[in-house]
Chains A and B, each alone.
Chain A
Amino acid sequence: MVEIRWHSRAGQGAVTGAKGLGDVVARTGKEVQAFALYGSAKRGAAMRAYNRIDDKPIINHEKYMLPDYVLVIDPALAFTDNITENDKPTTKYIITTHLSKDELVAQIPELQDKKERVFVVDAIGISLDTIGRSMPNTPILGALMKVSGMYELDFFLDSMKSVLAKFPQKIIDANMEAMTRAYNEVK
């Protein structure tokens, strides 16, 4: 079982991202779960989304999770949310930031003994350049593919093309570029 926790703000697309990842994973014959914790959330409120991925049907419905990957898609949440909650010695962090990894870790005491497990990518900057608005959910998935080695980039991009099929070609192309850049730029 692989477990992923997303830290996001309502409106940044974490739920869509978690479900999109689920769609890709389901195509490869694996079982997925994608859910989110938000109440009467307003746009901009901090929220969390979750993925579970396994080879057999997932029947665990608890919200409690020891994540293998923590995806932070809003830069400020790395500072204000408890992103290391239920950390394992192997938990990997992929954080959206315009800072370098050294600059970021220096400012977040909780990450200082986990530095080798922290990865940074400017998913917001990339999405502004490519998609034209702040939409860090798809680029972070590109970064996740690089860090986790879950799927080859080409396979993942192909699968995401059909997940995004309802959008105009221009938006699909921009998302492909965003994911490719994040894959290559995550450090």
Chain B
Amino acid sequence: MAEKMELKEVEVWDGNYAASQALRQAQVDVVSAYPITPSTPIVENYGAYVANGYVDGEFVMVESEHAAMSGCVGAAAAGGRVATATSSQGFALMVEVLYQASGMRLPIVMTVVNRALASPLNVRGDHGDMYLGRDSGWVQIDAFNAQEAYDLTLCAFKIGEDMRVRLPVMMHQDGFLTSHTAQNVHPLSDDEAYKFVGDYKPYEEMLDFTKPVTYGAQTEEDWHYEHKARQHKALMESKDVIDEVFAEFKKLTGREYKRVESYMMDDAEVAIVALGTTVETARVAAEQLREEGIKAGVVAPRCFRPFPFDEIRDALENTKAIAVLDRSAPMGAMGALFNEVSAALYTTPNRPLVTNFIYGLGGRDFSVEEAKRIFKEQKAHADAGHITTPIQQFSGVRGPKLGFFETKRGN
């Protein structure tokens, strides 16, 4: 039996430590991992838990992230609870196997500490790796601080392993801004946490020799499409299970999570939509602007996949002007979050004005002052009744001001 760890009611943990504690409490059978900055401490801490007897499972050290995720696929297909961690280049190297994991419907949990993608090489936080995973068939959930990184990692097991879902889950947090920032965290006891996550229920496991099964079979045009359609349906419908798990978590802890988080949106005229720690920094800006009489609010997809199309509409459709912030280099297009939010809002009667900001690449600081400036620009659009700037702009970049595309509405 694994040893139990005594935790205080309030711990001061960074996001990495919080995520590693959640993995320990879930009593994962196999962690197969290759450490990479800034998620290294998750793997390192987990290794220490194994060495010190706090974990019964196996810890497999491999030679690359491709092998790490392959090890996860094998262990999950064999019938175990499986988890890993990665970032950036490691994530990129895993991509081929990410699609294998989701296609085989293996409920692996991966804690992803978001980091920029090279080149140029950069170890700091942006959402390039998270966006790289967005078509991979995984559930993607985003934490905005260390407490959430802990809470939602516990939830991730319960979501992915539910028999109605059986899909892998990525639990994202911002590199350094969450992963290396220590804050007050209220953990559950080991018993409470494990009881919440529950025992792992194997499904068509390869180690059940009485019932041989095949994973990763070849299907050409006869069946591939049906498999993919069914997988998409499962991912779309996982939203109900996510809501149920969040509700159960709230009952246990009082901490409430929604697939779309809304702050000060009841009467908001202007809004910022963002992911990660920026959501919280933008809330500080919105609070300050409300003292100046600007009705500002913040909306954040807690769940990046499945994309909460309906809830985004509900949160934003009565807003006048919205800035959607993408912390990933869009490379020849509008930001992905902008495109998805815009698509949702296009089907509302009011069709608010929506603009796109690229920001914070490679860890560039995003300040409260900058968030306030962006809100004020949205206020100017709202007052003018049309977008008064290019539709896509770059926030906080040095050099000449960059802007792309003009509106065809309103002028």
Which residues of A does B touch, CB under 8 Å?
Answer: 18-19, 22-23, 26-27, 31-36, 39-40, 57-64
Contact = CB atoms under 8 A, between A and B. Distances in A.
B180 A36 contact: yes
A58 B183 contact: yes
B145 A59 contact: yes
B180 A64 contact: no
A63 B370 CA distance: 12
B277 A31 contact: no
Q: Is the interface of A mostly helix, strand, loop or mixed?
A: mixed
Given A19-B12, A26-B12, A35 B182 contact: yes
Given A26-B12, A40-B123, A61 B277 contact: yes
9 contacts: A22-B182, A26-B12, A31-B183, A33-B183, A34-B181, A39-B123, A40-B37, A59-B280, A61-B145
Contacts of A61: 145, 174, 177-178, 181, 277-278, 280-281, 366
Given A31-B183, A34-B182, A64 B365 contact: yes
Question: Which of A18, A31, A62 has the most B CB atoms < 10 Å from its CB?
Answer: A62
Q: Which 9 A-B pairs have the closest CB atoms?
A: A59-B280, A61-B277, A35-B181, A34-B182, A62-B367, A63-B365, A22-B12, A26-B12, A64-B367
A62 B184 contact: no
B357 interface: no
Contacts of B278: 61
Interface in B1-15: 10-12, 14
Contacts of A60: 280-281, 284, 368
Contacts, number: 67
Interface string B380-395: 0000000000000000
A17 to B, nearest CB: 12
B281 A62 contact: yes
Nearest to A24: B12
B54 to A, nearest CB: 15
B124 interface: yes
B74 to A, nearest CB: 33
B116 to A, nearest CB: 12
Contacts of B81: none
A29 B12 CA distance: 12
A58 to B, nearest CB: 7
B166 interface: no
Contacts of A63: 365
Contacts of A19: 12, 182
A35 B180 contact: yes
B365 to A, nearest CB: 5
B224 to A, nearest CB: 43
B176 interface: yes
B302 interface: no
B365 A62 contact: yes
B127 to A, nearest CB: 14
A124 B48 CA distance: 32
A39 B124 contact: yes
